[in-house]
């Protein structure tokens, strides 16, 4: 049984074009929503906040879906490179403050489900769920 999860509905950035654009030009992001970046292989990755008007928390995630590094409160519009520090396969961007609100820490495991709301298949979004004490959106037990 899986209990007490924070769930984020995320858009996929899994090709060069969507990864390059990311969340640029977005004025806001709904609570419990974000963007999931798939870099296709494991490597040290760099991101930036250029043309991104909102602050974000960024979680760098290993191929085995463990959060390896976290950047909190990334500065809007910054061209500074935000690096993963170690090789990772994925990154998750969510609204600034999510790390603290949902007590997300390095070492948390991510569970990915390809089903959307109430079992309906989603074509461009996938839920991200974090085991732990936080809950956002719908609490699901298996």
* Residue 97 clears pLDDT 60, i.e. is over it: yes
Q: What is the mean pLDDT of residues 116-128?
A: 44
User: What is the pLDDT, as a whole number, of residue 14?
Assistant: 86
The Cβ-side half-sphere exposure at 83, using a 13 Å CA radius, reads 5
Q: Which residue has the higher pLDDT, 127 or 101?
A: 101
Token reading at 65? 């879906």
* Residue 142 clears pLDDT 70, i.e. is over it: no
What confidence tens digit (pLDDT) does each residue in 20-51 have? 999 999 888 888 889 999 999 999 999 999 99
- Counting every residue written for the chain, the total comes to 142
Q: What is the mean pLDDT of residues 7-18?
A: 87
pLDDT category at 113 given cuts 50, 70, 90 is confident
SS3 letters across 13-56 = ECCHHHHHHCCCCCCCCCCCEEEEEEEEEEECCEECCCCCCCCE
Unique residue bearing structure tokens 């709301």: 117
pLDDT category at 80 given cuts 50, 70, 90 is very high
Nearest residue to 22 (alpha-carbon basis) of 74, 85, 68:
74
Q: What is the mean pLDDT of residues 91-103?
A: 91
User: What is the assigned CATH class of domain 5-131?
Assistant: mainly beta
DSSP designation for 115: B
């Amino acid at each position: 049984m899986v209990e007490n999860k924070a769930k984020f509905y995320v858009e996929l950035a899994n090709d060069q074009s969507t990864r390059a654009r990311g969340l640029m030009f977005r004025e806001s992001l709904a609570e419990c929503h974000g963007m999931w970046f798939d870099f296709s292989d494991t490597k040290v990755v760099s991101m930036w906040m250029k043309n991104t008007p909102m602050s974000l928390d960024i979680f760098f995630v290993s191929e085995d879906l463990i959060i390896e590094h976290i950047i909190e409160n990334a500065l809007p519009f910054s061209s500074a490179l935000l690096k993963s520090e170690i090789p990772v396969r994925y990154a998750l961007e969510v609204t600034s403050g999510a790390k603290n609100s949902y007590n997300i820490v390095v070492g948390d495991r991510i569970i990915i489900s390809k089903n959307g709301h109430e079992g309906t298949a989603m074509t461009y979004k996938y839920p991200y769920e974090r085991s732990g004490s936080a809950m956002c959106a719908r609490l699901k037990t298996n």
